[in-house]
């Protein structure tokens, strides 16, 4: 084969870096939405490469639900220090306290949906006009429909029927004041691409992704971690299992899988053989057929 | 294992109900790229809609309205990997009013799959979509004659459709056109060879996609580097260093190459090329790199570094094949924002030369108002010069979009002639 072509991982990386540099040029206050999950870690890594040797010109934004894995918070604080960037935190607890949102009640309550209000308030207060995220089109069917530069109106809403056509690599981020864009540099990556890239780049990721012993409860077809934030019913048993997580979110909704994969090589082997989608163990997506679309329309990440 | 795998981007096109979503569902399903929980969810939705077999189209119709109305509204992107290649599919809508979305999907594609319903043969949308493929310089067309099961897998029907298509496609500029008889619903010749179509000796669709030669689709001749952003650094003595960052649009750059900066025409030499701090001696499209030059020159975003002995045109006046993408029609003599690579200027559509009738492919010169989905040849004048190649030669330096200065929306896409 010809010498002058890129393998697909290099091509995806080059595309993502181009997109990140466009964010810097086209917007006045871009930030990276950082959840502590592998996708936002990859985006931060790409941003480091895009502007090297200058520092990353974006702040990181963490929407803190208050229901976190402690490991996630530790990882977040470490990476902020390592990258030398500013961290903005939006607190869901604060949104609840001041009455902007109301906490769900009951066994399956989650703070996931409440994040939208906290995020939109933070975007508004900090005059953010571009929120860069690690969402991938292969994650979920509504996400498969989204542009790389995705317009949000003044209320932060997404209108899937009124998206700007996006051609070649010419991205249009023009907007009015108070409107903003969500930009997804790794739209075209799959879960496997992300893992292969993490391995290739020798990146550090939270220990939660590796198999480890943990107290869990079997609920809705997934191992939900035991924590002070969940209500355990009488018929439910807390057991200790060898668990790892494929996605990281709010601790109350992130289901783990039983696994022995404690290295990147083993994770890649496991993911390539697995027959369930990555988000199959996320109870927030199971609420209805269009759960993600409905959340996204309102401004969810 | 993934080290040398290439990326192939393709789109599917055809009329409503020609089975585009079903074909993609079939490709994913038979190549084992569907997960069990997706399958279960699609089975449930299919049942709810009164369909007993699995409706493969539900794998791609991601929006609620699409599933409820059974149509595809917007482009959906799908991904799958085989031992030979990685694929990105743009599943584009067949409805006439969503042609702009088809163009969106087509602009980056190596291959277009044009679906034809075997019962109806070549229809207006077939021509329209094939023409758009030609217009956008997609190098390869695969015509899939679908629903062969509904015409008793007839070789005559297939041959008749090939004849009709060839009669019309002789006007197209695409050189590589192939024909495959398939049934997306039953899986004939999609991933697996069909027993029902024994008279067809060529490879099924997936194998064709896996083996197609695409390395020559990229321009490796004309070295073009649109400057995207500046990286400023200081060394120990606090001396300023500027690197010009961007993605190579085409061609190859090497250290010590004689280069010219356009539009200023100042010349210099490449001092270093680096990828994220690592110095390399040569780089090619589509790599994202940073270049530093031997001389201190004031260069801004939107300017272009090219090799001195191979230069593009610098011009205020361009002729463009323009696709109007918006509901609001074009306003004569209004100023639009034109975006070309990383360059942005104000521009006016000075003259509409002709409109192309997609059905007959004839040129009309009477009605010159640009409505949504119109394809026209226009003259555009910009406030400041653009650094251009023809789109046929170079997709990146030959393409533009127009942005409405009031609504900020992308209203047109153009290919420079």
ipTM of the complex: 0.91
- For residue B238, what pLDDT is reported? 61
User: Nearest residue on chain B to A281, judged by CA atoms?
Assistant: B37
How far is residue A256's CA from residue A123's CA, in Å, rounded to a whole number?
A: 31
- For residue B391, what pLDDT is reported? 96
How far is residue B99's CA from residue B67's CA, in Å, rounded to a whole number?
A: 20
- For residue B1, what pLDDT is reported? 47
Determine which of A68-82, A250-264, A275-289, B103-117 has the lowest per-residue pLDDT on average.
A275-289
**Alpha carbon of A59: minimum distance to chain B alpha carbons (Å):** 18
Determine which of A58-62, A152-156, A197-201, B43-47 has the lowest per-residue pLDDT on average.
B43-47
- Interchain pair B2, A196: CB under 8 A: yes
Helix and strand numbers (H, E) in chain A are 8, 10
Classify each residue of A251-283 as buried b or exposed e, where b means 16 or more C-beta atoms within 10 Å of its C-beta.
Answer: bbbbbbbebebeebeebbebbeebebbbbbbbb
Q: Stretch B342-350: mean pLDDT, rounded?
A: 97
- For residue A97, what pLDDT is reported? 85
Q: Best residue in B80, B283, B398, B410 to probe A by mutation, most A CBs within 10 Å? A: B410
- Interchain pair B276, A170: CB under 8 A: no
- For residue A1, what pLDDT is reported? 41
Q: Which residue from A141, A165, A276 is facing B101, i.e. has the nearest CB? A: A165
Q: Which residue from B228, B286, B408 is facing A174, i.e. has the nearest CB? A: B408
Residues 6+ apart with CB under 8 A from A2: B215
Determine which of B105-109, B147-151, B159-163 has the lowest per-residue pLDDT on average.
B105-109
How far is residue B10's CA from residue B108's CA, in Å, rounded to a whole number?
A: 8
Q: How many CB atoms lie within 10 A of CB B301?
A: 18
Residue A73 or residue B46, greater confidence: A73
Question: What ranges make up the beta strands (E) of B14-109?
Answer: 76-81, 85-91
Q: Which residue from A49, A190, A196 is facing B276, i.e. has the nearest CB? A: A49
Residue B143 or residue B96, greater confidence: B143
Determine which of A38-47, A79-88, A266-275, B181-190 has the lowest per-residue pLDDT on average.
A266-275
Backbone angles phi, psi at A271, to 5 degrees: -65, -35
- For residue B361, what pLDDT is reported? 75
- For residue B72, what pLDDT is reported? 57
How far is residue A48's CA from residue B369's CA, in Å, rounded to a whole number?
A: 47
How far is residue B174's CA from residue B163's CA, in Å, rounded to a whole number?
A: 16
Which residues in chain B have their CB less than 8 angstroms from residue A289's CB? 41, 45, 64, 67
Q: Best residue in A2, A20, A55, A145 to probe B by mutation, most B CBs within 10 Å? A: A145
Residue A218 or residue A289, greater confidence: A218
- Evaluate whether B22 touches B185 at the Cβ level (below 8 Å): yes
Q: Stretch B40-53: mean pLDDT, rounded?
A: 66
Q: Best residue in A7, A141, A270, A271 to probe B by mutation, most B CBs within 10 Å? A: A141
- For residue B273, what pLDDT is reported? 97
- Evaluate whether A37 touches A64 at the Cβ level (below 8 Å): no
Half-sphere exposure of B318 (CA within 13 A, CB side): 31
Q: Stretch B84-104: mean pLDDT, rounded?
A: 77
Which residues in chain B have their CB less than 8 angstroms from residue A293's CB? 62-64
Partners of A63 in the β-ladder: A90
Model-level pTM greater than 0.90? yes
Q: Stretch A290-301: mean pLDDT, rounded?
A: 70
Q: Which of A222, A189, A212 is nearest to A267 (CA)?
A: A212
- For residue B61, what pLDDT is reported? 59
State chain B's mean pLDDT as an integer: 88
- For residue A15, what pLDDT is reported? 97
Overall size of chain A counted in residues: 301
Q: Give the pLDDT confidence of B228-237 residue by residue, as tens digits.
A: 999 987 766 6
The string of DSSP letters for A49-116 reads HHHTTSPP-SEEEEEE-S---HHHHHHHHHHHHHHT--EEEEEHHHHHHTTSS----STT--STTTHH
Q: Best residue in A52, A158, A167, A176 to probe B by mutation, most B CBs within 10 Å? A: A167
Residues 6+ apart with CB under 8 A from A31: A58, A59, A60, A61, A88, A126, A128, A130, A131, A132
Which residues in chain A have their CB less than 8 angstroms from residue B231's CB? 51-54
Determine which of A39-43, B112-116, B364-368 has the lowest per-residue pLDDT on average.
B364-368
Determine which of A134-138, B148-152, B203-207, B282-286 has the lowest per-residue pLDDT on average.
A134-138
Q: Stretch B164-178: mean pLDDT, rounded?
A: 90
Overall size of chain B counted in residues: 417
- Interchain pair B339, A13: CB under 8 A: no
- For residue B302, what pLDDT is reported? 97
- Interchain pair B401, A17: CB under 8 A: no
Q: How confident is the model at residue A221 (pLDDT cuts 50, 70, 90)?
A: confident
Q: How confident is the model at residue A282 (pLDDT cuts 50, 70, 90)?
A: low
Which residues in chain A have their CB less than 8 angstroms from residue B396's CB? 168-169
Which residues in chain B have their CB less than 8 angstroms from residue A200's CB? none
Backbone angles phi, psi at B126, to 5 degrees: -60, -45
- For residue B99, what pLDDT is reported? 66
- Evaluate whether B340 touches B398 at the Cβ level (below 8 Å): no
How far is residue B257's CA from residue B282's CA, in Å, rounded to a whole number?
A: 10
Q: Stretch B290-302: mean pLDDT, rounded?
A: 95
**Alpha carbon of B249: minimum distance to chain A alpha carbons (Å):** 10
Which two structure tokens, joined as six digits, stand for A90? 């939006």
Q: Stretch B150-159: mean pLDDT, rounded?
A: 97
| Statement: residue A281 has pLDDT above 60 | no
| Statement: residue A259 has pLDDT above 50 | yes
- Evaluate whether B140 touches B215 at the Cβ level (below 8 Å): no
- For residue A108, what pLDDT is reported? 67
Which residues in chain B have their CB less than 8 angstroms from residue A173's CB? none
Residue B135 host element (H or E): helix B124-135
| Statement: residue A283 has pLDDT above 60 | no
Backbone angles phi, psi at B269, to 5 degrees: -125, 150
Reduce the DSSP state of residue A282 to 3 states and report it. Answer: strand
**Alpha carbon of B197: minimum distance to chain A alpha carbons (Å):** 32
Classify each residue of A45-77 as buried b or exposed e, where b means 16 or more C-beta atoms within 10 Å of its C-beta.
Answer: bbbbbbbbeeebebbbbbbbbbbbbebbeebbe
User: Nearest residue on chain B to A145, judged by CA atoms?
Assistant: B76
| Statement: residue B319 has pLDDT above 90 | yes
Q: How confident is the model at residue A161 (pLDDT cuts 50, 70, 90)?
A: confident
Reduce the DSSP state of residue B275 to 3 states and report it. Answer: strand
- Interchain pair B215, A280: CB under 8 A: no
- For residue B77, what pLDDT is reported? 85
Backbone angles phi, psi at A57, to 5 degrees: -85, 15
User: Nearest residue on chain A to B61, judged by CA atoms?
Assistant: A141
Strongest mean pLDDT among B91-95, B171-175, B380-384: B380-384
Backbone angles phi, psi at B400, to 5 degrees: -140, 160
Strongest mean pLDDT among A214-218, A282-286, B20-24, B104-108: A214-218
How far is residue B383's CA from residue A182's CA, in Å, rounded to a whole number?
A: 31
- Interchain pair A15, B286: CB under 8 A: yes
- Interchain pair A161, B65: CB under 8 A: yes
Q: Which residue from A141, A168, A190 is facing B79, i.e. has the nearest CB? A: A190
Q: Which residue from A12, A142, A276 is facing B63, i.e. has the nearest CB? A: A142
Q: Best residue in A6, A26, A144, A151 to probe B by mutation, most B CBs within 10 Å? A: A144
Q: Which of B25, B380, B238, B312 is nearest to A144 (CA)?
A: B25
Which residues in chain A have their CB less than 8 angstroms from residue B6's CB? 1, 5, 7-8
């Amino acid at each position: 084969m010809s010498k002058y072509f890129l393998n697909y991982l290099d091509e995806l990386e080059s595309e993502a870096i181009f997109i990140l540099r466009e964010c810097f040029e086209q917007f006045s206050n871009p930030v990276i939405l950082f959840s502590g999950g592998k996708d936002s870690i990859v985006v931060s890594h790409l941003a480091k490469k895009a502007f090297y040797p200058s520092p990353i010109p974006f702040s990181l934004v963490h929407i803190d639900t208050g229901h976190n894995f402690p490991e996630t918070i530790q990882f977040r604080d470490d990476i902020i220090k390592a990258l030398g960037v500013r961290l903005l935190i939006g607190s869901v607890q604060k949104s609840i306290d001041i009455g902007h949102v109301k906490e769900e009640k009951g066994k399956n309550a989650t703070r996931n949906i409440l994040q939208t209000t906290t995020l939109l308030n933070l975007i508004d207060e900090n005059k953010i006009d571009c929120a860069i995220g690690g969402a991938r089109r292969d994650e979920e069917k509504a996400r498969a429909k989204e542009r790389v530069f995705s317009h949000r109106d003044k209320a932060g809403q997404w209108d899937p029927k009124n998206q700007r056509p996006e051609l070649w690599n010419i991205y249009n981020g023009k907007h009015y004041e108070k409107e903003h864009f969500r930009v997804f540099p790794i739209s075209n990556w799959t879960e496997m691409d992300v893992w292969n890239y993490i391995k290739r780049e020798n990146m550090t990721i939270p220990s939660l992704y590796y198999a480890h012993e943990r107290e869990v409860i079997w609920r809705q077809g997934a191992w939900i971690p035991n924590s002070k934030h969940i209500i355990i019913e009488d018929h439910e048993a807390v057991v200790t299992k060898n668990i790892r997580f494929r996605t990281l979110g709010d601790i109350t909704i992130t289901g783990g899988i039983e696994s022995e994969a404690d290295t990147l090589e083993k994770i890649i082997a496991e993911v390539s053989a697995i027959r369930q989608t990555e988000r199959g163990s996320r109870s927030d997506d199971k609420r209805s057929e269009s759960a993600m679309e409905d959340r996204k329309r309102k401004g969810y990440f | 294992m993934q080290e040398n795998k290439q990326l192939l981007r393709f789109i599917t096109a055809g009329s409503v109900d020609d089975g585009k979503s079903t074909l993609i569902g079939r490709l994913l399903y038979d190549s084992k790229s569907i997960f069990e929980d997706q399958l279960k969810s699609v089975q449930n939705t299919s049942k709810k809609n009164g369909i007993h077999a699995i409706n493969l189209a539900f794998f791609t119709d991601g929006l609620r309205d699409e599933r409820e109305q059974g149509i595809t509204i917007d482009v959906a992107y799908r991904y799958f990997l085989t031992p030979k290649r990685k694929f990105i599919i743009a599943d584009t809508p067949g409805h006439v009013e969503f042609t702009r979305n088809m163009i969106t999907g087509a602009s980056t594609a190596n291959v277009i799959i044009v679906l034809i319903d075997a019962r109806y043969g070549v229809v207006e949308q077939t021509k329209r979509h094939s023409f758009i493929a030609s217009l956008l310089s997609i190098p390869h067309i695969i015509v899939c004659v679908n629903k062969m099961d509904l015409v008793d897998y007839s070789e005559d029907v297939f041959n008749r459709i090939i004849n009709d298509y060839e009669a019309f496609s002789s006007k197209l500029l695409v050189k590589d056109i192939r024909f495959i008889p398939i049934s997306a619903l039953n899986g004939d010749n999609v991933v697996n060879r069909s027993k029902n179509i024994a008279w067809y000796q060529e490879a099924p669709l997936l194998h064709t996609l896996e083996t197609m030669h695409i390395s020559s689709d990229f321009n490796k001749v004309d070295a073009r580097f649109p400057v995207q952003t500046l990286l400023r650094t200081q060394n120990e003595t606090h001396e300023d260093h500027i690197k010009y960052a961007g993605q190579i649009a085409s061609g190859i750059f090497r250290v010590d190459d004689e280069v010219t900066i356009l539009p200023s025409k100042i010349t210099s030499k490449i001092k270093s090329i680096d990828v994220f701090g690592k110095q390399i001696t040569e780089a090619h499209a589509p790599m994202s790199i940073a270049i530093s030059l031997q001389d201190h020159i004031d260069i801004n975003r939107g300017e272009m570094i090219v090799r001195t002995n191979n230069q593009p045109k610098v011009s205020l006046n361009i002729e463009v094949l323009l696709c109007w993408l918006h509901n609001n029609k074009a306003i004569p003599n209004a100023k639009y924002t034109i975006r070309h690579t990383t360059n942005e200027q104000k521009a006016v559509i000075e003259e509409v030369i002709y409109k192309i009738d997609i059905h007959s492919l004839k040129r009309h010169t009477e009605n010159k108002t640009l409505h949504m989905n119109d394809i026209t040849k226009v003259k555009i004048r910009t406030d400041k010069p653009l650094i251009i190649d023809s789109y046929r030669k170079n997709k990146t330096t030959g393409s533009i979009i127009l942005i409405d200065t009031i609504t900020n929306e992308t209203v047109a896409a153009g290919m420079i002639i």
